[in-house]
Amino acid sequence: MFDIPHIEKLDQNFAKSAEDKLAKLAIPKGALGELGDLAVKLMTFSQSFTPNFTHRELFLCAADHGVAMNKVSQYPQISDKILSCASHRGAVINALCETHNCQLSLMDCGLINEPKPGSVKIHNRVIARGGTKDFSLVAAMSSEQCKEALENGISMARNSSAQLILLGEMGIGNTSSAAAMFAKNSNLSVEECVGAGTGLDPEGIKHKTKVIQQSLDRFSIENLSPAESAFEIIRQVGGFELATLVGICLGAAEQGKLILLDGFLSAVVAIMAKSFNPNVRDYMIASHLSHEQAHKKALKILDKTALLDLQMRLGEGSGAVLALPLIDSVCAILSQCMSLDEALNV
């Protein structure tokens, strides 16, 4: 195991004051709809009537998965090429981060091939250059590797000066890993958790389901505590990038930072982090609802409502970055909008 960070439960007492602040603005009651709910969440989180999250960092963690050898993805293991594209400012996530003023940190957590660096630095957090093992046959990683990945994530979050941490992942085969973790941890059938990933057809999804079921039948988590169970699930069927993101969640919450989830994979990461420390959930906001069928179930377990529903399945943290304008807009309203009394006396 590893030293699980201590996370304070978020003080919800400020929520009533936040609701009163919103009610006093020169805005008809309920007119902001779900933005009003977001405003209360942001004020409560920051314990301030004028929250500000202008300093934000997206950790885009990349790794390869041995299970990809079973053709569970439509693409070969070209994860290093995709990360190289981001390093050369040619990926969707580059355009989004530059448009919405978000620092992009690229993390190689264990790709098969070393990516070619460009103008955006690629940080070396490699656990094993060959990626994880084929978890349909053996454990994806050793206990030592799992511990190292979790601790890497905790350290990265602790060392970040950002107020807002965004989660991003990249790796061929990682939807299989996330579906396997989700099914085992939440006691759901594999069929409920598997989706198209990179665009599999019905036959491809059926094959992917079979491979994951074979993987889950290999090991048991009976009689383990929630934390021990989460560690064993990550070790058995996780990915180096996903384990790192679990650590980032725990480290960010420990430091009182707000965490903005991306799609299905980061929701599963959040659920695994919650198994280590339930208080981490208080520090999370769900950015969007993805095309993956199990994402809605994962958000329900987290008791989170997504800000956007764009039916995306790109990954990379793209949906999280697209939610930043909503957060910025709410913060601007709270800092600039007059109260009704002030408006009536203009």
Could you report the per-residue pLDDT of 22-51, keeping only the tens digit for each? 999 999 989 999 999 999 999 999 999 999
Kindly report the pTM of this predicted structure.
Answer: 0.96
337 found inside a domain: yes
Are 152 and 248 part of one and the same domain?
A: yes
Question: Residue 218 pLDDT more than 90?
Answer: yes
The rounded distance, in Å, linking the Cα atoms of 229 and 220 is 9
Domain hosting residue 26, numbered range: 14-50+332-344
Are 338 and 307 part of one and the same domain?
A: no
The rounded distance, in Å, linking the Cα atoms of 294 and 284 is 19
Which single residue is written with the structure tokens 């930043």?
324
Active site residue 228: no
Which domain CATH number covers 206? 3.40.50.10210
Ranking 60-74, 111-125, 133-147, 246-260 by mean pLDDT, the lowest is 60-74
Could you report the per-residue pLDDT of 305-332, keeping only the tens digit for each? 999 999 898 999 999 999 999 999 999 9
Are 192 and 168 part of one and the same domain?
A: yes
* pLDDT score recorded for residue 1: 84
SS3 280: helix
Which single residue is written with the structure tokens 């070619």?
116
Are 43 and 65 part of one and the same domain?
A: no
The rounded distance, in Å, linking the Cα atoms of 158 and 243 is 16
296 found inside a domain: yes
Are 216 and 304 part of one and the same domain?
A: yes
Are 255 and 319 part of one and the same domain?
A: yes
302 found inside a domain: yes
Are 167 and 198 part of one and the same domain?
A: yes
6 found inside a domain: no
- 200: phi > 0 → left, psi -120 to 50 → alpha, else beta; which? beta
1 found inside a domain: no
Catalytic annotation, pick one of 169, 192, 316, 342: 316
pLDDT band at residue 62 under the 50/70/90 scheme:
very high
Are 299 and 181 part of one and the same domain?
A: yes
* pLDDT score recorded for residue 197: 67
Are 214 and 231 part of one and the same domain?
A: yes
The rounded distance, in Å, linking the Cα atoms of 238 and 338 is 49
Number of compact structural domains in the chain: 2
pLDDT band at residue 198 under the 50/70/90 scheme:
low
75 found inside a domain: yes
Are 33 and 157 part of one and the same domain?
A: no
2 found inside a domain: no
Question: In degrees, to the nearest 5, what angle opens at C-alpha 317 toward C-alphas 270 and 138?
Answer: 55
Phi/psi for 289 (5° steps) reads: -100, 120
| Contacts of residue 201, Cβ cutoff 8 Å, sequence gap at least 6 | none
Are 36 and 136 part of one and the same domain?
A: no
Are 183 and 45 part of one and the same domain?
A: no
103 found inside a domain: yes
Could you report the per-residue pLDDT of 74-96, keeping only the tens digit for each? 778 899 999 999 999 999 999 99
Helices (H) and strands (E) counted in the chain, each on its own, are 15, 8
DSSP run (H or E) holding 59 = strand 56-63
Q: Which of 104, 144, 105, 117 is nearest to 128 (CA)?
A: 144
